[in-house]
Structure 1
Amino acid sequence: MQLVLQQIMHCPYQGAMKRLYLESKVMELIALRLGQFLEASGGQKRSPSLRADDVERIYRAKEILLQNLTDPPYLATLARRVALNEHKLKVGFRELFDTTVFGYLHTQRMERAKQLLEAGSMTIIAIAQTVGYANRSHFAAAFRKWFGANPMAYLGTSSRKGGLSVAVRDLIFGSRGGRERKRRAFSVSPELGTKRSRYGP
Structure 2
Amino acid sequence: MTKPTIYINAENISSGSKVPLLNVDEQQNLSEGVFDAASESYEALQFDRSRLNISTYSFSGIKIVIFEGTIYQEIEIPIQDNSEYLSLAFVKSGTITTKSKRCSFEHIATARTANLCCHCCFEGTAYFAPTEHLQIVSICFPKGYLTEFDALIAQCNSYKAYGYMHIPMVNNLPMQECVDMLIDPPVTGNVKQVFLKGKAYELISLSIQSMYSQPISSCGVSDKERHRAYQARDILEDSLLNPPKLRALAHLVGTNDCKLKKDFKTVFNTSPYAYVIRRRMEKAYQHIITSDMAITTIAQNLGYNNASHFSSTFYKHYGVKPRDLKHLRKRN
Report the TM-score range of the alignment, normalised by the length of the smaller protein: 0.5 to 0.7
User: Aligned partners of 2:295 and 2:232: how far apart in 1?
Assistant: 28
- Give the direction of change, closer, same or farther, for the CA distance of 1:148–1:45 in structure 2 (3 Å limit): closer
Check if 1:109 corresponds to 2:280.
yes
- Number of residue pairs matched by the alignment: 143
User: Aligned partners of 2:280 and 2:239: how far apart in 1?
Assistant: 10
Task: State the match for 1:181 in structure 2.
Answer: none
Structure 1's unaligned 5+ residue stretches are 11-23, 162-201
Q: 1:147 aligns with which of 306, 311, 318?
A: 318
Q: Secondary structure at the match of 1:30?
A: strand
Task: State the match for 2:58 in structure 1.
Answer: none
- Give the direction of change, closer, same or farther, for the CA distance of 1:64–1:96 in structure 2 (3 Å limit): same
- Give the direction of change, closer, same or farther, for the CA distance of 1:110–1:103 in structure 2 (3 Å limit): same
- CA RMSD after TM alignment: 3.3
Task: State the match for 1:189 in structure 2.
Answer: none
TM-score by length of 2: 0.38
Shift of 1:51: 2.7
Shift of 1:98: 1.1
CA contact (8 A) 2:295 2:322 kept: yes
- Give the direction of change, closer, same or farther, for the CA distance of 1:42–1:117 in structure 2 (3 Å limit): closer
Q: Which of the pair is proportionally richer in strand?
A: 2
User: Aligned partners of 2:240 and 2:291: how far apart in 1?
Assistant: 19
CA contact (8 A) 2:157 2:218 kept: no
Query: What amino acid sits opposite 2:115 in the alignment?
Result: I
Q: Which has the larger radius of gyration?
A: 1
Structure 2's unaligned 5+ residue stretches are 1-73, 75-89, 96-109, 119-155, 166-215
CA contact (8 A) 2:287 2:293 kept: yes
Shift of 1:121: 4.5
Check if 1:8 corresponds to 2:93.
yes
User: Aligned partners of 1:136 and 1:86: how far apart in 2?
Assistant: 30
- Percent identical among aligned pairs is 30
Shift of 1:25: 3.8
- Give the direction of change, closer, same or farther, for the CA distance of 1:153–1:106 in structure 2 (3 Å limit): same
Q: 2:160 aligns with which of 8, 22, 39?
A: 39
Shift of 1:29: 3.6
Q: 1:124 aligns with which of 295, 303, 319?
A: 295
Please give the per-residue CA displacement for 1:97-135, whole angstroms capped at 9, x wherever unaligned: 111112211110100101111221522111101212111
User: Aligned partners of 1:92 and 1:46: how far apart in 2?
Assistant: 14
User: Aligned partners of 1:38 and 1:155: how far apart in 2?
Assistant: 44
Q: 1:77 aligns with which of 248, 252, 261?
A: 248
Task: State the match for 1:30 in structure 2.
Answer: 115
Check if 1:100 corresponds to 2:271.
yes
Please give the per-residue CA displacement for 1:22-41, whole angstroms capped at 9, x wherever unaligned: xx945x1426x569994126
Task: State the match for 2:259 in structure 1.
Answer: 88
Please give the per-residue CA displacement for 1:19-73, whole angstroms capped at 9, x wherever unaligned: xxxxx945x1426x5699941269888736x332221111010011111111111
TM-score by length of 1: 0.61
- Give the direction of change, closer, same or farther, for the CA distance of 1:68–1:46 in structure 2 (3 Å limit): farther
Q: Which of the pair is proportionally richer in helix?
A: 1
Please give the per-residue CA displacement for 1:165-193, whole angstroms capped at 9, x wherever unaligned: xxxxxxxxxxxxxxxxxxxxxxxxxxxxx
Query: What amino acid sits opposite 1:8 in the alignment?
Result: S
